[in-house]
Chain A
Amino acid sequence: MTTLLQTRQLAVSYGGIKAVKGIDLEVKQGELVCLIGANGAGKSTTLNALCGALPLTSGEILYQGVSTAAMPSHQLVRKGMALVPEGRGIFGRLSVEENLLMGAYIRKDHSVIKQDMLHIYELFPRLLERRSQKAGTLSGGEQQMLALGRAMMSRPQLLLLDEPSMGLAPLMVQKIFQTIRQIAAEGVTLLLVEQNARLALEVSQRGYVMENGLITLADSAANLLHNPQVQQAYLGQ
């Protein structure tokens, strides 16, 4: 398997505060990798730096073997990187369908876009029913579905997910994770940032544990699930 995304001693700070203090991550083509950790560990900061929304303090990010230093977010999208932002970031004033079209903003192949949209509606029949409704009026779970569907509309190679379970009812979380599995099965590489460590490790192949801006553990998801440290700190056992 080739490496799709790699960081070398990635560090990010906000003013004087070091949020991420030099981490090495690797995501291979076709993998589903999760990054777990407590609140404030630096997970979302890492993700935002990866997608070009935050400047790096030091270190580098290699995407498809090329440094992303000179690439702003919108260029990374053209190279196949899509982000489902924390809090979903849907466009409330636009309709569900318009939101999906925004996901395909960079694409010009209009007939294929139509097909892809049908595919998203297959994944989430609920969105089909609500397609002309303003996205802001959707429930939290539906908004998360829309955010996922919208990110899929860019036909990403690498999908970055920031806390997809946040603020959702347990059943809805199950549904979302089921879809994440499905997306992974379709061949999309995923990097999942989650506080819900158990769910994240259950769907992932590998996992990283982050604490205070550093990666403290990196292993296969199965091993992490059985790691006593992880069990105690994140799985409540």
Chain B
Amino acid sequence: MYNLVQRFTDDRRAAWVAFAAVGILLAVLPFLAEAGLGRSWVRILDFALLYILLALGLNIVVGYAGLLDLGYIGFYAIGAYVYALLSSPHFGLHLPLWVVLPLGAVIAAFFGALLGAPTLRLRGDYLAIVTLGFGEIIRIFLNNLDTPVNITNGPQGINMIDPITVAGIQLSQTHTVAGIQLSSTYSYYYLFLVLTLLLIFISIRLQDSRIGRAWVAIREDEVAAAAMGINTRNVKLLAFAMGAAFAGLSGGLFAGFQGFVSPESFNLMESIMVLCMIVLGGMGNIAGVILGALILTILPEALRYLGPLQELLFGRVLADPTDLRMLIFGIALVLIMLYRPAGLLPSRRRARELQPEGDAVQQEQESLHDARR
């Protein structure tokens, strides 16, 4: 008993130390990135955080509830345009952040449920096709809603969007805190970090909740899930809506951060990219999803150095780095799927599936022995 208590307190202390270390690392990460790799990497970190937010949202829909959604970026677009329309000179509206961000999430959630409702009976490939169409519909709407009444400004997109202002601090300006100059990318980094931590917390709580189990149950066996008293329709719609809300929120952040949105940014490739992040990292596992999002945002950027590298080695550029980037990127994806089919960090629930078959036989023997008694 004493040992148990001892171990518990030790573990707790270890956990706190680890927690503090991660906290400090996250706090100084942009400084390290700038010092080690250059200024542009702070901006890349900001985008990585936005993609983590997106991937966490899609993980609810695909990873938890098992609903393959290929139009996910549509909700990101909705969040971004809600912010852009309500907080830019386009309509002359400049609503505050705490109105437009939640509103973007809510409107995206509404559209999530709207997409979910007619597709409740669809599964797998069929669902994927409908959601893919939905994502494209959103993009095409945004592209064409400049006539007869100019709502979205069409393919030109919306410019001069208000930068994010938190508690009177405009994040687009350089601030000096305790003698350290923080440029705008730093401020955005800290804001995105706080929101990412918040959504990670929500994701963890969801996973171990009654509703989280209900999502897994539905994906396993819908008839049995209904026989448990789960209202399968509402629970599925909730997954769509929650995932979309995460996307709507990150869309709003994206609009404020970039200062510019256009339909271009929300094409099918983006949806596929976010899906790749969660498949690669390990669907249903939060740490895996984060890792996947980080790798897939950072890897393409890192591969930009292929041009200078070639010059260094061969004196000239042999292959166009952009072509090479996609090639290496593709090969990396194929390799990961070959050798880690459940993702880099598979979820606990998925990993359990990889138990050897022999165990079941052994168990059956034992159970038969029980039955005989």
B-binding residues in A (CB < 8 A): 51-53, 72-74, 77-78, 82-83, 85, 89-95, 98, 101-103, 105-106, 125-126, 130, 133-134, 136-142, 150-151, 154, 169, 171-172, 174-175
B contact residues around A72 at 8 Å (CB) = 226, 231
A contact residues around B359 at 8 Å (CB) = 137
B contact residues around A134 at 8 Å (CB) = 349, 352-353, 355
A contact residues around B366 at 8 Å (CB) = 126
Contact assessment for A105 and B228 in the assembled complex, using a CB-CB cutoff below 8 Å: yes
Known A-B contacts A77-B227, A171-B368; the reply to A130 vs B363 at CB < 8 A is yes
In chain B, residues 311-363, which have Cβ atoms closer than 8 Å to a Cβ of chain A?
A: 349-350, 352-353, 355, 359-361, 363
| Chain B residue at minimum C-beta to C-beta distance from A132 | B352
A contact residues around B355 at 8 Å (CB) = 134, 137
A-B residue pairs in contact (CB < 8 Å), sample of 10: A74-B228, A85-B224, A89-B224, A90-B221, A94-B213, A103-B228, A134-B355, A138-B360, A142-B364, A174-B371
B contact residues around A83 at 8 Å (CB) = 227
Contact assessment for A93 and B368 in the assembled complex, using a CB-CB cutoff below 8 Å: no
Write the nearest CB–CB distance from A51 to chain B, whole angstroms.
Answer: 6
B contact residues around A98 at 8 Å (CB) = 213
**A94–B219 CA distance with the chains assembled, in angstroms:** 11
A contact residues around B210 at 8 Å (CB) = 101, 105
Closest 5 A-B residue pairs measured CB to CB?
A89-B224, A77-B229, A134-B352, A139-B364, A175-B371
Contact assessment for B353 and A94 in the assembled complex, using a CB-CB cutoff below 8 Å: no
Known A-B contacts A134-B353, A137-B359, A154-B229; the reply to A126 vs B367 at CB < 8 A is yes
Known A-B contacts A102-B217, A137-B352; the reply to A74 vs B231 at CB < 8 A is yes
Is B301 part of the binding interface, using a Cβ–Cβ cutoff of 8 Å?
Answer: no
Write the nearest CB–CB distance from A203 to chain B, whole angstroms.
Answer: 16
**A20–B304 CA distance with the chains assembled, in angstroms:** 67
Contact assessment for B363 and A169 in the assembled complex, using a CB-CB cutoff below 8 Å: no
Write the nearest CB–CB distance from B153 to chain A, whole angstroms.
Answer: 45
**A105–B217 CA distance with the chains assembled, in angstroms:** 11
Is B216 part of the binding interface, using a Cβ–Cβ cutoff of 8 Å?
Answer: yes
